[in-house]
Structure 1
Amino acid sequence: MALSVPSNAGVPHSNLAKYREKFVSSTKNLLAQNACTTQNILDICKSRKSVQAINHTFDLKIESEGKPITDQKSSGRCWIFACLNIMRIPFMKHYKMEEFEFSQAYLFYWDKIERANYILDSYIDCARKGETYEGRLIHHLLINPLDDGGQWDMLVNLIEKHGVLPKACFPESWCAENSFRLRGLLNNRLREFCMQLCQLVEKGTGEDEIQNAKTAMMEEIFRIMNIVLGTPPEKFTFEYTDTDKKYQSFKDLTPLQFYKDYIKEVVYDIAEYVCVVNDPRPQNSYNKLYTVEYLGNMSGGRKVLYINQPIDVLKQLTIKCISENKAVWFGCDVGKSFSSKEGLLDLKCLDFNLVFDVNPLKMKKYERLMYGESLMTHAMVFTGVGTEQGGNPSDVKATKWRVENSWGDKDGSKGYLLMTDDWFSEFVYEVVVPKSFLSEDIQRILDQEPVVLPAWDPMGALA
């Protein structure tokens, strides 16, 4: 058998010659080549006009924003940071604090443990249904079983069961801030455990033996998490001096007592918030309730639920929250049309057409979801909006949005980003708002039996 490559394989030589001749005949191409072979291509594509138009002034803003700006470092914990950044705002105001952070590492610790247990239960369930590693479902669940990211209802599960801690009582660790190695180790254990559990089910092993095996697996995960993050205190005391220069303290509390007695009953009840999404794919109707198969982090916990609405509904709900002094957790595709140094999320901030003669934004939002071009990748917080006032409050139109990020204070406006309203339309996928802010018609959607999307659906992406 001949091993040589046929002369007519691949792109025809005649076509390559034409491409080359056309490319080198363009002085614009040569200039772009000179620039892009020596610089970051995003810097070359950056629109000076868009950068000059940046103005971090907003006519609607929440009364006070949390301090200090937070930094998730090299981890995928944005969803946790965004939630705790929202929760601390009314907490700081009520308890008169100048600066404060809840422990992000504490929720990260419990999410890894609870999610490992949830995934192991999912493996057992799949095996009982006859799913194998050759099928798409288990293959999907094995890709990144203990991802750092998450969704809002997962946060509700964690906080309602385990409570929260001040960061001073359970500070960051190296593996919390640099989670890549930890995630690799945990994924290794989960994949091996999947193999073992599937083999047990396939052999017809009794339920008690399967559960005993799972218990031993969970002990491994628990041991790893305590080694790399430390062991959270069962009770804690937190002392501080308030803005009136008076000594204050929370004494001898469990994290769950702290949440229930000093947060939930006083300033912020996380369970009262729901997720409204914009999924414009034709097959997924608006005014329907959706969930995603095997998307969760707590066995027997609250399901991840999405109320699907047009994008203008998400905008009006966000404006209503901000006008009533409530910051808004949201999920988006942060990597698209983003100039990070300036903290600018703007469809016009990167001009690929000028440099490459291509337009990366030709696809519609639903087409990007369908063809893998976009999905939720990051969670942040809306704290302000610039508007054009309409005839009544419901007619208020947004022009730009103020965004609190969790990447430190070096970029943007001391860590805050500016998002144009057009960018919101194309790349924001979900907002979390109080259930009471929804119209009665939308609230009734929560009574529906949710449509179950497959585990690999893009709406199952973790922010």
Structure 2
Amino acid sequence: MAPSLKPLDESTLEGLRSGFESREANRIAMNAVTQSGIEAVAHNYDRARLLQHRFSVSLDNGKATSQARSGRCWLFSSLNVARFVARKALNIDASSPANPMGDFELSQNYAMYYDKLERVNYFLQDVSALVRAGEPVDSELMRFLMGDVMGDGGQWIMAMNIYKKYGAVPKQYFPETASSQNTGEMDSQLRSLLHQAVAHMVAEPDRIDDIVRETTEAGHRMLTIHLGTPPTSFDWEWTDKDGVFHRDGEITPQEFWKKYVDAGLEDYVCLVDDPRREHPKGRKIGIEHLGNVAGGDPTEYLNVPIQFMKDCARKLMSEEGIPVWFGADCHPMMDRKTGQWATDLFEYGRVYGVDFDMDKEQRVRFGDSAQNHAMAFLGVDVADDGVTTDRWRVENSWGTDIANEGYFTMSDDWFTEYVYEVAVPKSMLPEEYRQAVDQPAIMLPAWDPMGALA
């Protein structure tokens, strides 16, 4: 029996109106917000002016990239880390005004092409097994998998699955296309293709293998029409920062990755801060049905305290000179124009007269926060004690027209509240954590918030 819902009657409405009018600050807030918008009115001037774009440790990675109208941040950010490594291997100085390589990037379109192709296969293999096992098409799991298919988001482990198998190419060998920069229509068509495949599997269970094969062929055809034919080899040559010309001859994307990029990135571990108390720190967690490459590494994380994540990120930049990939909930308390994040950057509660008091655990548990964007740390401001951090320098992938030419500043308290994941070398872990990485993961359902894709 449906619950009896109490309607808003006229007496209640009149009480709301009179209550609003009785507080002068409400009218002042209404006048300001209706004319200028909530962000302008709630903006904390004192906090913003003190959140400076200066850092004791700052790595140079050249011009900020732009993912345009796509959700490829996880690929852009992982390739931004990779291009930093490649620049060192190739002796290309990103900061040189006479940089002969220009704004060197690795092809994000190439990575997306193979990610999408692999996801077509992953989805078909996963769902066909469920159909064969008699999973109802309207079950919670099937509805989630069907609704979530063919988005652009991903994880560090998923990116490494692509680079391990397909390598990487400099951007000039496989540049952006109209569809790579605006993925909405392509994704919609691919989603319809996969939905149709499931419908055919249910209607014709004896043809499932044929349906998987035919749909994979169609997905490949559609991706190639939208994104182009990716190179299987290319003639690699470059001029380094000293003006020396190099010719490496014909090379495959896999050879390019291994020779100029890898640097141990494939062996990184993903650390997460799952704040829910039922998920213990020091244990590995995984997400059912989450992945992109069949036979690739599973999407699993080591759940650790947030301070340990900060310590690893700081050490990796200050001691090893390597950028750090991370995932966060980028929307709360963000000034996109100036490129700032701080937990008190906007005083919404003071404008509304509302006390927003949920902590990180409650925000995750009640659907108010989850990872939705991936970026790279390119610097940190460390106190004289060598440990205490005040703010972090972030390389975003939203172009150079915002923030500090595309680079953002994040307060340390914002890191605590809204960063969920960092990728670091396994060698940085203490022995107890290394052992935990080798243990079976606590598996969470496909729709768990820790499975949210950046």
TM range (shorter): over 0.9
Whether the 8 Å contact between 1:124 and 1:198 is mirrored in structure 2 is no
Residue 20 of structure 1 is matched in structure 2 by 17
Residue 167 of structure 1 is matched in structure 2 by 171
Superposition deviation, residue 38 in structure 1: 2.6
Gaps of 5+ in 2: 95-102
Superposition deviation, residue 246 in structure 1: 2.1
Residue 264 of structure 2 is matched in structure 1 by 269
Residue 278 of structure 2 is matched in structure 1 by 283
SS in 2 for 1:38: helix
SS in 1 for 2:261: helix
Whether the 8 Å contact between 2:197 and 2:211 is mirrored in structure 1 is no
Amino acid across the alignment from 1:182: M
Residue 345 of structure 1 is matched in structure 2 by 341
Amino acid across the alignment from 2:29: A
Amino acid across the alignment from 1:286: K
Q: Tell me how far apart the structure 2 counterparts of residues 170 and 31 of structure 1 sit (CA, whole Å).
A: 54
Residue 416 of structure 1 is matched in structure 2 by 407
Q: Tell me how far apart the structure 2 counterparts of residues 275 and 263 of structure 1 sit (CA, whole Å).
A: 19
Q: After superposition, where does 1:58-457 map in structure 2 within 5 Å?
A: 58-62=55-59, 65-97=60-92, 98=94, 99-201=103-205, 205=206, 209-264=207-262, 268-323=263-318, 324-360=320-356, 362-390=357-385, 396-457=387-448
Residues 9 and 424 (structure 1 numbering): CA distance in 2 closer, same or farther, change over 3 Å? closer
Superposition deviation, residue 9 in structure 1: 5.9
- Deviations along 1:99-118, one digit per CA (max 9) or x if unpaired, are 31000000011000001100
Percent of matched pairs sharing the same residue = 36
Amino acid across the alignment from 1:328: V
Residue 3 of structure 1 is matched in structure 2 by none
Q: Tell me how far apart the structure 1 counterparts of residues 31 and 390 of structure 2 sit (CA, whole Å).
A: 37
Residue 52 of structure 1 is matched in structure 2 by 49
The TM-score with structure 2 as length reference comes to 0.94
Superposition deviation, residue 60 in structure 1: 2.2
Superposition deviation, residue 379 in structure 1: 0.2
Residues 113 and 419 (structure 1 numbering): CA distance in 2 closer, same or farther, change over 3 Å? same
Gaps of 5+ in 1: 1-5
Superposition deviation, residue 198 in structure 1: 3.1
SS in 2 for 1:218: helix
Equivalences, count: 441
The TM-score with structure 1 as length reference comes to 0.92
Superposition deviation, residue 193 in structure 1: 1.1
- Structure 1 ranges of 4+ moved more than 6 A: none
- Deviations along 1:62-109, one digit per CA (max 9) or x if unpaired, are 3xx222210001100000000010111121122122431000000011
- Deviations along 1:3-52, one digit per CA (max 9) or x if unpaired, are xxx9x961132121111112123332112212222333222211111221
Residues 1:32 and 2:29 are matched in the alignment: yes
Superposition deviation, residue 370 in structure 1: 0.9
Amino acid across the alignment from 1:298: V
Q: Tell me how far apart the structure 1 counterparts of residues 189 and 21 of structure 2 sit (CA, whole Å).
A: 49
Q: Tell me how far apart the structure 1 counterparts of residues 415 and 230 of structure 2 sit (CA, whole Å).
A: 38
SS in 1 for 2:327: strand
Q: Tell me how far apart the structure 2 counterparts of residues 67 and 315 of structure 1 sit (CA, whole Å).
A: 24
